[in-house]
Every structure is written in structure tokens, then in C-alpha cells.
Amino acid sequence: MDKFLIQGGHRLNGEVRISGAKNAALPLIAATILANTPITITNVPNLKDVNTLVKLIAGLGITISYDDSQVQADASTLNNQFAPYELVKTMRASILVLGPLLARYGEAKVSLPGGCAIGSRPVDQHLKALEALGASIEVENGYVHAKVDGRLKGGEVIFDMVTVGGTENILMAAVLADGITTIRNAAREPEITDLANMLVKMGALIDGIDTDTLVVTGVENLQGCEYAVVADRIETGSYLAAAAITGGCIRTTHTDPALLESVLEKFEEMGAEVTRGENWIELDMQGKRPKAVSFRTLPHPEFPTDMQAQVMAVNTIARGFSTISETIFENRFMHVPELSRMGANIQVEGNDAVVTGVEKLSAAPVMATDLRASFSLVLAALAAEGETLVDRIYHIDRGYENIEAKLQGIGAKIQRISE
Ligand code: EPZ
């Protein structure tokens, strides 16, 4: 199992090129199922999760290739609608093939994704929404079996809570449904906008993009196109946090400040100097110790849950104390015991954490538990005195492309130990 060995205490300075967003690339690749003619997606990050979904799509009989950050797919060769547990269990976003398969082929058999470290993450909202469009859904032996005679029918969908995956699944189902579908309480994450923009380029009719109410007028078929994945706002925030925690100055390029304004405002509250360019963002901590910032995670455009662990890491060495409320997932504080091993002072009460900043963290062997928690441990190790060993970093490879090369490029003393 790979580990990272990190020598902390160095200010990080320099430039990081941001990759395409993992959480946009995954629904975009699922949407290739909908196209009647070949489709090309560019700026696709080279990640384990992306490779897993490409394998799953190929398993449907679709002709798909993925190399040099480009995915090309031709769904005309699809010969089955079965997404097996072996693949779905390793990457829960595989559930996103359910909507497109149902819309295009009238049937789908997709393994239930099961929970993961940060929570049970059910898909009840996905299924309820598909039933509202006329699908009959049976769940047995750990599989969702969805069917519809003829085409799905446009209808009213109201989500009980904001769900990114649920919104993506129903959007990909509605674009080929017969009639008009209204999706209320829709998620507004930039990755949803990216999916909607690509569907429109394929010929879909979608109103209300970027709002919490999407109105889709179904069409008979969709054509392929060429589309570039939006920049990864969470990768951007994660590297800017590396400047905040080490007192350095980092410029992230090939990104967009508008994607993470709520995070940039928190960095400014910490005392960082943040400069917003057209497709770059620079954070200069000017060697200062950050000021602690409190926040609650909420659906976009509020503070994203995927940045909670990273900003908590910065808070552990900040001046003063902060309160962090995690309102999206029920178990997303697993980085807390690991940070505490490095000397952080964090009290957790349910979904709230109170962090009292300390002068310095100290190196200690720690273990990654989930994707974003892994990055928060890397951040802490970059700031800590001494040499930290971070174990189980396969979690981090799921969501951060070329992480050690990007960190070494800004002066980090990090090396991967493969065992
Ligand atoms: C997406 O997960 C992201 N993953 C997550 O990023 C992100 O944390 C999350 O959205 C929230 O922003 C991808 O896009 C691949 P949800 P998703 O459906 O779609 C509950 C990362 O680190 N819920 O918005 O699974 C659910 O349990 C990952 O990159 C139901 O109860 O998240 C959660 O508490 C982690 N029933 C809340 O809603 C449902 O049917 C939000 O989940 C669906 C969701």
C-alpha cells in the first residue's frame, strides 16, 4: 500500500496547473451513453475513479478510449445495460449510468453503490425521481432494476434535499423523455452546470441552468460533440490551502475564481491576500500565521463540504479558535483523530467541531480514510515539524492528478513510498 513521506516546515511557493474536475468528468462520461454519434471529452483528469467509470462504460459494450486526458466514446455499439457490483462498489458515482441507460434503452440493472467512509449515501432520491418520470424500479439482491415501456414521460421532480448525483441522474434521464420535466430543489454545483452545458451542446433543451429549478423539454435523440471538462474547484482550493497553511504564495492556473468564491472569501478572512485573474488565482499568505475562520458546509454557492477537511487543517495552526459545522454528510470528521495525533486541538460534538489553533503541529505516522481527509493530512504534514508518513494514500489518488509532482513543483519535500 503506497505511503507519502513528507518533510514539513517549508513555505510553498510557485505555480500549480489545475486539472479538469473529477466530479464533472464522471457525469460527463456517463452522459456519453445518450449520444447517437461519437463524442469527445477533453481536459479529463487522469484519476482512478475516471478509469473505473471508463471500464464500466466499456462493459456496456460501448466503444470508449481514454488517453492523454481525452475520452472518446461511441455508444452505438452498446449491447447490455448491466453495471456490476465489482465496479460500482469501488466507485459509487457509477450509479450515474442509471438515468442515461433508462432514457436511451428503457432498461438498466445497476448495483446499489453502498455506503462509504463519509456516510451511508443512499440513492433513494435518484430512484424516486426516476419513478416520477414513469420508470418502474425494483431493488433486490443489491441491484437496482429499472424499466420503462417506451420512453420516459416528462414530469415534476422535487428533491427532499439538495443532491448532486440525484440532480445529474434525473437530468440525464429527462433530456430524452417525452414531454417537459421540471426539477425543483436541484443542486447548483458548477459540475451540474457543466453537465447541462454539454447536454445542450448535444441538442438537449434545458432552461434554468445554474438555478435550483431546471426545466427540460425532452427530445428524440442527442448527437455527439466535443466538450472540455470544467476546472476542478476543489483541487484549486486544496492547493491554495497549501499556501495558507505554510505561509507561502501559490498561483493556481487553468481554473476559474467564480467556481469557489465562498472558499476564497474564507481565505481572505484568514488574512491571505487573494488575487483573482481571468483563469488563475493567487494566494499570498506573506509568511503570516492565518487567523482561524468558522464556517458551515452547505450546497453551492455556499461553502463546499469537499473543502471542509482542508480548511480545518489550516485552522489547526491558525490564531484563535473556530467552529466548523458539517451539514451535508453524517460522518465527515474522520480526519480529526489523525490531525489530533499531530498535535491538533479539536473537539467534536456530533456534526460540529471546535478547533483551537496551536503554534505548531508535530510529525506523526497518520492514515488517510477518505479522499479529502487525505489531502488535509498532507496539508498538516507540510506544516508540521519533522517527517510525517501518510498511509493508505490510494484514497488521494482517486481525486488528485499527479499530486506529488504538483506539490514538488511548489517546493514540497514529498515522496511516494510504494510497498
Ligand atoms: C457528490 O456526491 C460529490 N461526488 C461529492 O464529492 C460531494 O461531497 C457531494 O456531491 C456533495 O457536494 C461526485 O460528484 C462524484 P449528494 P453525491 O447526493 O452526489 C444525501 C468528493 O470528495 N442523499 O449531493 O453522492 C447524501 O447521503 C466527493 O469528491 C440522500 O439521502 O452527494 C448526503 O448526505 C465526496 N439520498 C447528501 O444527500 C439520495 O438519494 C448530499 O449527497 C442522495 C443523497
Query: CATH number for the domain including 27?
Result: 3.65.10.10
Write the CB contacts of 355 (distance below 8 Å, at least 6 apart in sequence). Answer: 292, 312, 315, 316, 318, 321, 322, 323, 324, 344, 345, 346
Answer yes or no: is 70 a known binding residue: no
Evaluate whether 371 touches 235 at the Cβ level (below 8 Å). Answer: no
Backbone angles phi, psi at 48, to 5 degrees: -60, -45
pLDDT, mean over the chain: 96
In the prediction, which pLDDT does 81 show?
87
Order across the sheet with 366-367: list the strands: 366-367, 387-391, 3-7, 413-417
In the prediction, which pLDDT does 286 show?
98
Order across the sheet with 39-42: list the strands: 63-67, 70-74, 39-42, 226-228
CA of 112 to the centre of ligand 1 (A): 14
* Spatial distance between the Cα atoms of 229 and 69, rounded to a whole number of angstroms: 10
Backbone angles phi, psi at 192, to 5 degrees: -70, -45
**238 and 224 part of one domain:** no
Query: pTM for this structure?
Result: 0.97
**193 and 337 part of one domain:** no
Evaluate whether 81 touches 98 at the Cβ level (below 8 Å). Answer: no
**154 and 274 part of one domain:** no
Residue 10, pLDDT > 80, answer yes
Banded pLDDT at 277 (limits 50, 70, 90): very high
Q: What is the pLDDT of residues 342-353, one digit of tens each?
A: 999 999 999 999
Place of cell 417525452: 178
In the prediction, which pLDDT does 83 show?
87
Report which protein residue has its CA nearest ligand 1's atom 6: 306
Answer yes or no: is 289 a known binding residue: no
**221 and 237 part of one domain:** no
**197 and 270 part of one domain:** no
* Spatial distance between the Cα atoms of 365 and 48, rounded to a whole number of angstroms: 25
**256 and 202 part of one domain:** no
Residue in 28, 36, 17, 24 with CA at minimum distance from that of residue 76: 36
**What does the pLDDT average to over 62-84?**
94
Answer yes or no: is 153 a known binding residue: no
Residue where a domain stops, chosen among 228, 244, 271? 228
Ligand 1 proximity of 21 Cβ (cutoff 6 Å): no
Report which protein residue has its CA nearest ligand 1's atom 8: 306
In the prediction, which pLDDT does 66 show?
96
Residue where a domain stops, chosen among 228, 244, 269? 228
Residues with catalytic function? 116
In the prediction, which pLDDT does 75 show?
96
In the prediction, which pLDDT does 198 show?
98
CA of 45 to the centre of ligand 1 (A): 20
Banded pLDDT at 114 (limits 50, 70, 90): confident
Give the number of the atom of ligand 1 that is nearest the alpha carbon of residue 330. 34
Evaluate whether 342 touches 324 at the Cβ level (below 8 Å). Answer: no
Ligand 1 proximity of 93 Cβ (cutoff 6 Å): yes
CA of 162 to the centre of ligand 1 (A): 9
**What does the pLDDT average to over 302-318?**
98
Answer yes or no: is 397 a known binding residue: no
DSSP classification of residue 342: T
In the prediction, which pLDDT does 50 show?
95
Quick count: other Cβ atoms within 10 Å of Cβ 183? 25
**393 and 257 part of one domain:** yes
Residue 252 burial by Cβ neighbours in a 10 Å radius (0-12, 13-18, 19+)? buried
In the prediction, which pLDDT does 88 show?
84
**139 and 272 part of one domain:** no
Evaluate whether 54 touches 22 at the Cβ level (below 8 Å). Answer: no
Q: Ligand 1: which of 28, 50, 112, 121 to mutate, most ligand atoms within 8 Å of CB?
A: 121
CA of 14 to the centre of ligand 1 (A): 33
In the prediction, which pLDDT does 364 show?
95
**27 and 71 part of one domain:** yes
Helix 190-201 and helix 164-174, axial crossing angle in degrees, nearest 10: 10
Ligand 1 proximity of 24 Cβ (cutoff 6 Å): no
**237 and 210 part of one domain:** no
**355 and 376 part of one domain:** yes
Total domains in the fold of the chain: 2
Residue in 354, 365, 390 with CA at minimum distance from that of residue 375: 390
Report which protein residue has its CA nearest ligand 1's atom 44: 163
Residue where a domain stops, chosen among 166, 198, 228? 228
Ligand 1 proximity of 255 Cβ (cutoff 6 Å): no
Backbone angles phi, psi at 182, to 5 degrees: -110, 125
Q: Which domain holds residue 270?
A: 2-19+231-418
Give the number of the atom of ligand 1 that is nearest the alpha carbon of residue 234. 29
For the chain, what is the total number of helices (H) and then of strands (E)? 14, 24
Residue 379, pLDDT > 80, answer yes
**43 and 192 part of one domain:** yes
Ligand 1 proximity of 124 Cβ (cutoff 6 Å): yes
**What does the pLDDT average to over 392-415?**
96
